[in-house]
Amino acid sequence: MPPEPPSPVFDVVVLGAGPAGTSAARAAAEAGARVCVLERMAVPRYKTCGGGLVGLSVDHAGIDLAPLVRSRVDALTMTLDGRHPVTRRSKDGRPLLSMVMRSELDAALLDSAKAAGAEVRTGVHVTGLREEGTAEPGRGEVVVQVRSGPAVRARVVVGADGTSGRAGTHVGVTCDQVDVGLEGEFEVPAPVAGEWSGRMLLDWGPVPGSYGWVFPKGDMLTVGVIGAREHGPALRRYYDVLVERLGLTAAPRLHDSGHLTRVRAAGSPLRRGRVLLAGDAAGLLDPWTREGISFALRSGRLAGISAAAGAAGDPTALDRYPARIEGVFGPEIAAGRSVLAVFTRRPALMHTMMTRVPGTFGLFGRIIEGRSTIARQLRRPGMAAAIAALGR
């Protein structure tokens, strides 16, 4: 028998079909690269995620989100471990969050990557990465080893396969904040759905640094809590109490699951040779809110652009990538850490500021809507020093 033809070498192989991976794949394909996406699961697939899109996610999705939005929220109820409820509404009618099902969002983003020209392979379990040759653009390859079938070869790989994926291990990511989120999706009758229509809940929780939420999605409510992994049993109790407090203990649950989120340590690598990291694989998310979709979409696009240029022979494209990521996300992560420190030590103060100090809710709304950032606010005179003092 004649020998099998050698496997093709893709310009860019993307590991993972979440928001970071699909954003990277679309950007690289639009730049003219031959792209292949490798995803372990069939798509659409369930993903533990609140599904609330902040303004930066909407701005950087790159697709029409209107068909995916289950509801838009312009009112926020805040409570302190179930007490002292205060509801505030966006004054200009702008939605604070757009609510989607994560499985539907991921499928739509993957379709957009396909439309841009990316090849997609699902059901592929990546077992390791091996670089051959040199990291110099235009030379060398990355061999992506898979559980069954021939290895996949690429000039550049974008690792967007999550916090426990092979890419992060290969690059050597280190994270100094690990949180656990617990979440359920509850079917609710029309009167309950109407009560939550256009309104969400944030509950500053009893576990240090934790909070809970209710996100309305038509005839479904997404309920969850998140906090430091070291407080796992206490977070489970908090979640159960929150569900009971909402009267949902006996409600049908479509999903009830947990997941870990990890925030990169300062200086953690974002690249090794011809492998770039984006999204959760790099530990890119907000330390306080643990919001990661906007980080994934933006870092994925930067990774895709850099990968395509590197595959085409740009001698500095891969070298510049870590600095580009640090420049965009470093200040945001540092600012989120500062606010988390205050929130962990003084949740009651956070509740008071959000509900009683004039202008604070409006500022919070502008941050959620993407019209400002925490990092930008901490650059105001005296603000960073005040936050640091409160967090000590």
Domain final residue, candidates 260, 282, 312: 260
Burial class of 63 by CB neighbour count within 10 A (0 to 12, 13 to 18, 19+): middle
Question: Tokens at residue 233, please?
Answer: 């049993």
Are residues 123 and 29 part of one domain? yes
**Residue 91 included in any domain:** yes
Are residues 90 and 213 part of one domain? yes
Are residues 213 and 156 part of one domain? no
In whole angstroms, give the CA distance from residue 289 to residue 336.
Answer: 8
Q: What is the CATH number of the domain that holds 270?
A: 3.50.50.60
Domain final residue, candidates 238, 260, 282: 260
Nearest to 293 by CA among 93, 37, 18, 40: 18
Helices marked H in the chain? 19-30, 55-60, 102-115, 166-171, 190-196, 232-245, 293-311, 317-345, 347-356, 360-369, 374-378, 383-391
**CA-based radius of gyration for the chain:** 21
Are residues 83 and 201 part of one domain? yes
Domain count, the chain: 3
Q: Which residues of 216-252 are buried (b: 16+ CB within 10 A; e: fewer)?
A: bbeebbbbbbbbbeebeebbeebbebbbeebebeebe
Res 3: pLDDT: 44
Location of structure tokens 């696009």: 301
Is the distance from CB of 110 to CB of 37 less than 8 angstroms? yes
In whole angstroms, give the CA distance from residue 29 to residue 117.
Answer: 6
Location of structure tokens 């439309």: 115
For residue 157, the cross-strand partners are 13, 275
In whole angstroms, give the CA distance from residue 371 to residue 20.
Answer: 22
Are residues 324 and 274 part of one domain? yes
Are residues 346 and 358 part of one domain? yes
Are residues 340 and 385 part of one domain? yes
Are residues 377 and 231 part of one domain? no
Q: What is the CATH number of the domain that holds 81?
A: 3.30.9.10
Rounded to 5 degrees, φ, ψ at 267 are: 85, 0
Are residues 299 and 340 part of one domain? no
Residuewise pLDDT in 10s, the chain (392 residues): 444 445 689 999 999 999 999 999 999 999 999 999 999 999 988 888 889 999 999 999 999 999 999 999 999 999 999 999 999 998 877 889 999 999 999 999 999 999 999 999 999 999 999 999 865 555 689 999 999 889 999 999 999 999 889 999 999 999 999 999 999 999 999 999 999 999 999 999 999 999 999 999 999 999 999 999 999 999 999 999 999 999 999 999 999 999 999 999 999 999 999 999 999 999 999 999 999 999 999 999 999 999 999 999 998 999 999 999 999 999 999 999 999 999 999 999 999 999 998 888 888 888 888 888 888 888 877 676 767 766 66
Q: What domain range includes position 191? A: 68-99+178-260
Res 136: pLDDT: 57
Are residues 255 and 238 part of one domain? yes
Res 346: pLDDT: 93
